[in-house]
Structure formats: C-alpha cells, structure tokens
Structure 1
C-alpha cells in the first residue's frame, strides 16, 4: 500500500494541485472518470496481507472502485491538510475555513468508510456548513479530536455515536443550531467540559435564559402591579365595569346604577314622586336608560323575592307600544328597575302644547289599545299605568306605555276602566285629580253630567270642529263612558268590541269622511253604516246595555 500510494501520489500530484481551486462538480466528475489500474486488486491484497487492520480488508469481495477513489481522496486530503508525510500516513484532516472544499469531502461517503486508521484529528470548523450532524465521520472510530464549531448544523446530536467513540477526548460543537435534548447522556458531559457546547443549541442559551428569568422575576411582577393599580383606579370611578362582568342577565348592581347616574346626581333626576325617583342614566356600553328608584325598602325576604320575580316577568315584555324593561336591582339598600330611555315628551305635555289633530289622537289611542291587549292576552298579571303623563311618544309618534307592575290578580274590569279614562283624557285634554278637583269617579261623573246635552264642552276646544271630527269624538266619549261605568260591570264592552270601535273610527279619521246613520228597529238598537262602494254592515246591540241617552256604536 505504501509503494502504491507513493506512485499514485506522484502521478496525480500535478492533477490534484490543478483541481484544488476548481469548483466541486469538476472534482466529482474527475473521480467518476478515473478507473483503478489493472494490478490494483493485487496491490490491495498485498496491503491487507502486510496490514490486516486496514478497513477495506474486511470488505470481501473488494469494491475496487470505492477503495481506489478513497485512496485518491486520502492523498488529496493529506496534501491540502499540510501533513508532513502524505506517503505513509497522515494524522489530521484540516478543512478549517475551506467552505468550498469541506462540503465536497463530507459528501464522499466512500472515503469515510475506508478512512486511514492514522487519522486522529478532524477539523471542519468555520465553514458555515448546513444540514444535520455529519454522521459519516463516525466511520473513523479511532479519532481523538473532532471540531465542528462555527457552522450551521441543526437537528439532534447523535449521542449514541459519540458515546461509541472510546478514543474521543476533545469535542467542539460550539456555535451551531442543534436541537435541545432532554435525553443527553450524562457520561458524555463528564468527558467534555462546557466549552464543547457553547451556543451549540443543545443547552438553552444562558443569555436568553437570563433574559427570561429577568422577565419572569422583574418585568412580570411590575406589569401585574401596574395592571392591578389601573384596575383599582378604573373600578373606583366605574365599579360597574367589574361587577358587570359577573352579573346575571337582567340584574344590575348598585355600583352599575351609581356609575350610570354619576352617583345619582340631582342633574340626572328627571322625575320624583312620594315613592319613586326617576333618573336618566348611561350604561357602560352607551345605552341610555330610565332608572326608577323605589324609596320604600323591602326588608323581608319574601317581599324581595316577589319583587325580583315580578321584574323577571317585566323584562320579558316585547311589544312596539311598550317601553322595554332591561332589568332590575334588588339589594337591601337599593331597589330599582331599569328600562330603555325614550326621547320625546309624554302624551300629557303633547296634548297641552302641540294641540294634535283628531287623527293623531286616534293613532295614539289605537297604539295604547294594542299594547294593553298584548298585556291582557299574554301577561294578564301585569298592570300598567295609562295616565297621559305615563305614556311616552317616540320619534315616529308611536305611543309607549312606560310604567308597569305585577299584580297577583287578573282584574280585566280595572284595565277597561283605566283605558276608558285614557280615552276621555285624549278627547278632552283634561286630567282627573288636577283640572277637576275630585277623584277619578268624580272625573267620570262630570263627563256624564254634560253628555250628551253639552258634549261640546267635553271636546278639546282647540281642535278643528269639523262635523266628522265632532261625531267621532262624541262616539269616543260614549265608548269611554261605557268603559268607566262600574255600576254595570257585566255590560262593559269587551276588548274585541273596543278594538272594533277604535279601528273603525281610526280608519274613518284617516279617510276624512263618515256616512253612518243610526235607527231603532223592534226595540233592539242597531247601527247601520252606509259606506261608499261598500255593502251595508249591520250589528245587533243589547237594548239593556246602557241608559237611553247612550248609544253604543260598534263602528
């Protein structure tokens, strides 16, 4: 082998010196084109007889081409590594800072498979090599020093292969990008000191670790303290933000209502009675609300439970003529209901200042009737306030019932009575207990004294007194008196009858004409309607429905 290597080295020295600066593909092409000489088999056979420890001696039959190429690469590596004796043997492969050659020679698996046993030092550092750990190097199991530092190797380090190198005493994997591993062999790190793995990626970067420790132990506590401080400041000014996150649906806390009304400021107080204070408020989400605070406290648990159950019912009401109840507050110190805020005046102010036409008054009466009928049919336990000062108007002129309460009874007579009073208020622009200094019964009695002889006194004199308006207002007064006649409860009109009367009057008010005639036949009262382009409708009336001077016109 020695004589062959010397001869081969002399033959190829000129060729090898010429290909060193040539790019990698040319070297690979030259190796592929070279063929072993005819006596190459005899040469390696003699070499194995003289030195059986040569690696290719254990490979039978011989792969002559691989062994031949390995010999050429060995000679070339010996030359470029500046070894003192490249004929007999060489101890070191030095590809340090040879970024064009190192990747090429790492790709020669056949060389590492048959690498000379004299090689004990491999240095492939500072080449910016990429990819996984070059495992072919482990064919040279006799190596003592291995330097792969300052490259871009990635992936796992083959710990088992390193552990199987008994002669390896110096290892340098620093400044690479290997993966962290929790399965590293402890014995491996007893053989090598920490300088072997500086910034190798195998262990967490101490600087990064220190930074993380700094973040966790210093920055995070400061951040938490700042956030807690900001939260305390925010909650001190708007405690409803915190409590609102944990409240149940429809339930408001005192802090939420306090924040919505600026601490129940007098500037937010929009109404007041002996038992209720009404506030305007703005919730955290920007919703404008009407907050009714009840002055009477409920100390008994049963009373508070009844109040809360009633509020749950009110919060389920859904109708275009009802103000929506958003929720309630029920604590020992504060009891309130929260409903949506509706801009606009109430009907009492509207009647007094706007002098609305009969058509617009009819629209309000029909709207309130629809709301009352909804409550009567769907929620009979809910009572509502039908005073004109409790009825609101939205931007479209649609009336809204704004005040409710839950009653154990289902007093339909009382509801019809209240609606009758509302009709009389709408026609006359007068209110019980105010312009007539008496009770509601006295208010109704005053209407009876003037109806029908002086019914003109009962109609708002500011309205334009067209014949059709007078007739329809007169019929509305008659309907109101029928609804408020508690002496003949059994003869009160039903809600269907009331609806029919108002819907007909409303349609005629919109049409602006009325061609009705009334007469009596066989002792039974009838109402006959002579509509243009329509057939006559005839509706039977009970002759005992009222006193003689009243006519119950189902219009």
Structure 2
C-alpha cells in the first residue's frame, strides 16, 4: 500500500495477520504511533513505514519479529530512545534505517548484535554520547551513516574491524581526538566523511586517505598534514628548547594568530552549516561539492516510485523520470537514474558532478542535485537531478508521433533558427569559455531540451564522454578502442577510425543536427546508403533544388511557396533585394508570438535556409581542421536571423 495518500493511523489489528511477511506503508501521510501489535507478526521479514508522519516512540515489541531482515522507519517524527530490542536482530541482514527522525539518547551497545546487517542508517537524529565500540562487531556492514547527530568522544578504533565497509559518514557530530590510522587499511572503503567535527592531529595518508575526492575533513580546524589536495596546514615539528628560543616564541605567536583566524572563519562556517541543517529537520538534503545532495526516498517519492508513467526517456547509462520535489516549494525536475551494472557508469557519475557544477550557461541544462545512496532493496543507487524542460526534446518536435491532429507539434522557420543559435552558443561556451574545454561528444536532437519558451538547452553530457583535463581516467577510457564517442550518424568520421575526441568532433555533430533541422531527415534515414549520406544529399541539392529537400512541414505551414522561381539567379538576387524588401511582410500572429507569415517574402526565407544549410555542410566537412569553429557558426547564424527579420 506504499506511495498513496492514506491518512489516519496504522490499524492495530494488522497485528492479527499472523502469516504476514511484508508490510509496505511507506510514502503516505499516516500519523499517530506505531502499533505495538506489529510485534506479533513473527513471520514478517520486511517492515517499511518510512516517509510518513508517525510520532512517538519505536515500540520495543518490534524486537519480537525475529525473522525481520529489513526495517525502514526513516523520515517520520519519531522520538525517544532506540529500544535495545531493535538493535538485537540477528536476522537483520539487509538494512536498518531510522534516519530523519528526532530520536535521542545513546546508541545502544546491543548494536554489535547486528552481525549480518549490510546497511545501518541512523543519520539526522538527536543521538548523543559516544559511539559504542561494539559497532565493530557488525562484520557484514558495508554502509554506515551516522551523520547529523550529537555524538561525542573519539572515533572507535573498532571501526577498523569492519573489513567490508564501503561507505562511512560520521560528519556533523561533536567527535574529537585523532583520526584512527587503521581506517586507512580498509581496502574496500570508497567514501569517508568526517567533516564538521572537532577532530585534531595528523590526517593519515594511506588507503582511502590517498584520494581527496573520496574523503572530506572540512570543518575540523585542528587537523593538519594529509595529502596536498586537502590543503591542510603542515603538522608542527618538535623544536628543541636551546635552539633559538626567540624565533621559537615569535613562531608561536604568529601561529596562534593564524590559528585564531582560521578558528573564527571555521566557527562562522560551522554556525551557518548548523543553521542550514536544522532549518529543515525532516530533509535529507546536504550540500556537497557545491551541489545539493538529496536522498533516495526524496527521489522515490518525487517520481511515484520511479513509475513507468513518469518515464520520459532513456540514455546510454540510465533512464530519465519526471518528478516533483517537495523541498520548500514544489519544483518539477528530471531525474536520471544510472544503471550501475553498465561498465563505467559509476565512475562517470562522479566526473559529471564535478564538471557540471562548474559550468553555467543559459543554453545548458542545469544540474540541481544528485543522489548517491542505497535503494529500498539495499542496492547501490546513483542519480542526477536536472531542471525539468516542459517541451521535451528537439527530437520529439522534428519527428513527432502523430497521436491526434490537434496534438501534433511542429516548429516554424524562426523557431528553428533560434534553436540552432541557442545550441551553437552553448557549444561556443563549452569549447572556448570554460577553464578547460569541455567536449560534449554526443550532440543530437534527443539531447537538446526545450523549455516553456522553446529556448534550447543542451543536456546529457554522456557521462564517460565528458572530457576535461581533470578527468584523465575518463578521457583514456573514451579514447580506447572500446570507448563510445557518440551516436551513429552524429559521431565524427575520425572517431570511427580511433581518433581522439576534440572540439572538431562536436562541430561535426552540430553540422549534422543543423542539416536535420532544416531537411527533417535523420542521418540514419533508410534512404542513406552506399555513398549517399545527409551531407551529400544536401550538397547535391544546393542551391536551386533546395525546395526539394527542405522539411515538408515548413512548406505545409505556408511559410515558403513551393515555387522554383522564388530562387533567383545569383546575379539577379542582389538586384532585386531592394524591391523585394519593399514588399516583404513578416507579421507576428497574435496567437503565436513566433509564427512567421510571409506573403511575398519567400525569396528571403529560402535564401536564409540555403545559408543555414551551407553552414551545416561546412561543419560536416570530412577533414576535422576544415570545419568551422562554433564562434563563427554562432555569428553567421545570428546574421541570418537578422536578415530574415529585416
């Protein structure tokens, strides 16, 4: 009964269903307390009550469900302590999630009895006291989230006993003392977050500590050393008393001033972080690496359980769903869920986050958030969250599926010119105005999204196809013989011969896109075989037979007359320009601000189409160095539009 709009309390007589094995009520609006009678369900192995409005204590009778493998109570309003009985489940083999509540008190020593547990999440509560050393007995633990509590004392040395741990988050607590060096011996540890505590001393440099992108220690003002990428101050060395005491005292004074300044800055940052975290006590959001990180259940709820009804597309590494996030105010988003079983998807996820957070342009799809967590089945889950584009992809407009006559969507000539300029502006920015040039490598109509005003936004950077100087590992994969460098029909010919990725490859893909926009033909059309391709198809028709290859939709709209005489001889065109300009009427229709009505302006419009197609031909030249650059493409298209609009 999950993900509905159920209200009221959970009926206590559910406890009479003696053979019940699963109870899934998450994602509703249920309130009141958890009925103690649920403890009578001795055969139950899955209890999911997350994302409701439940309050009160966790009933200790739940401990009677000795076959329970998964217990999900996150994102409610539960209070009180964690019952020892709940921490005594030897049967819990998948996950226990109590996060995003208001639980208090200490973490029971009995946590060590969860020897078979894979995932333990008690984050974002009000738990206090020391982390019990018995947690090292959870020998099967792979994911441990304890962030956002009030834990104090030192990090237990027994955590180094968790040989299979992959993800460990202790951030946002009051932990003190040194970081145990033995954590560096955990060979499977891929993510370690110790930020915003009161840790001190030298940061280890072995194991996970060798990777700056895998650890976070910010907000610990007394830490020193570590690898250079952490930008921590060097650790002090022992100074003998008889060696230049005056200089030593001066050093102490200067160091104290610097340390005091750092403490004040860090204190301010910590206060801001604490305020931001407490402002929304029931949200799993946190800001990491400049991006807002949200939870799996936020996305699960936003997309109605990733339902097929919300599926809006699929790509090389995953599927895209429409969703509605309820954070502050409702916001429509597009959620790209990665298929992590595909080779390269997981590594590419981190690279895309790092790269996209540093690029901003009005014609690029904006990344809003990301999720790196565990799904309801205990599997690793990664997703990227983008702003939602109301008008879908350019592909759906160029090649619409006819469902009903009234719903057929088409683009007029000016709209196509505007979209072509938008895309060229985005590529010009990526190639020439980023700190390190970014190569899209998979430009095609389905990766160009249109907002409510039909402004184009380039999206889907292809994950492993994203190229910058800071992601050499991805670049090497991309340049290998098995690396995918684009889509059939749009990929530059040199890629098919093992050539390296370059901005010239993007220009080629853009040229194919431009030809497709004005002819209405895909580069993979069945008519293209042997030596005939979209480039040659257009080249053979220009200029006098252009109306034979132009998209029939433009002719059907009445924007262009199907009249070969509208294309004058080259010399005569120039002579007649002044006369034609006196008769051209380009009127804005009241019912569509972008609709163009041309009564005697066909000549000018056809010339504009010819010019645009010639740019497409120049971009799809066989030689990479013979292609136009995006700076010139953008200027030429804007000139065409200016002439077209008179």
Q: Shorter-chain TM-score category?
A: 0.3 to 0.5
Output the TM-score relative to the length of structure 2.
0.40
What is the TM-score of this pair, normalised by structure 1?
0.46
